[in-house]
Amino acid sequence: MSTPQPDRPSKKGKKVRVAMRRNRNKPPRVSDWTRKARDAEDNDIDTSAREMVIAKGDLSRRRTIIVPEGELKHEEFLSGVVVSVHGLHLQVDDGARTVLCAVPRMLRTRMIEERHPVAVGDRVRFSLEKSMDGGEVTGVVQSVEPRRGQLQRQSDDRVHTVVANVDQAIIVSSADEPPPKPNLIDRYIVSALAGGITPVICMNKIDLDGDAFAARILARYATLGYAAFATSTRTGEGIDRLRTALKDKSSAVAGQSGVGKSSLLNAVQPGLGLKVGEVTRDTQKGRHTTTTATLVRLEFGGFVVDTPGIRAFELAQIDPRELEAYFIEFVPLVAKCKFPDCLHTHETGCAVKAAVDRGEIHSARYESYVRLFEEGCDNKRYATR
Ligand code: GDP
Ligand code: ZN
Question: 341-374 pLDDT, tens per residue?
Answer: 999 999 999 999 999 999 999 999 999 999 999 9
- At 314 the pLDDT is 54
- At 76 the pLDDT is 77
Question: pLDDT tens, 141-155?
Answer: 998 898 888 877 666
What CATH class has 150-306?
A: alpha beta
- At 119 the pLDDT is 87
Give dist(CA 176, CA 259) in Å, integer: 8
Centroid of ligand 1 to alpha carbon of 355 (angstroms): 37
- At 313 the pLDDT is 52
Which stretches of the chain drop beneath a pLDDT of 50? 1-74, 277-290, 311-312, 385
- E strands present in 134-293: 137-144, 150-155, 158-164, 168-174, 198-204, 227-230, 250-254
CATH code that applies to domain 320-378: 1.10.40.50
Centroid of ligand 1 to alpha carbon of 177 (angstroms): 9
Q: Output the CA–CA distances (angstroms, integers) from residue 86 to 13, 125, 129, 202, 328, in the order listed.
A: 24, 18, 19, 32, 38
For ligand 1, whether the C-beta of 232 sits within 6 Å is yes
For ligand 1, whether the C-beta of 258 sits within 6 Å is yes
Please state the domain extents for the chain.
75-144, 150-306, 320-378
Tallying the residues shown for the chain, one arrives at 385
- At 271 the pLDDT is 82
Centroid of ligand 1 to alpha carbon of 258 (angstroms): 6
What CATH class has 75-144?
A: mainly beta
My answer on whether omega of the bond before 178 falls inside 30° of 0, hence cis, is yes
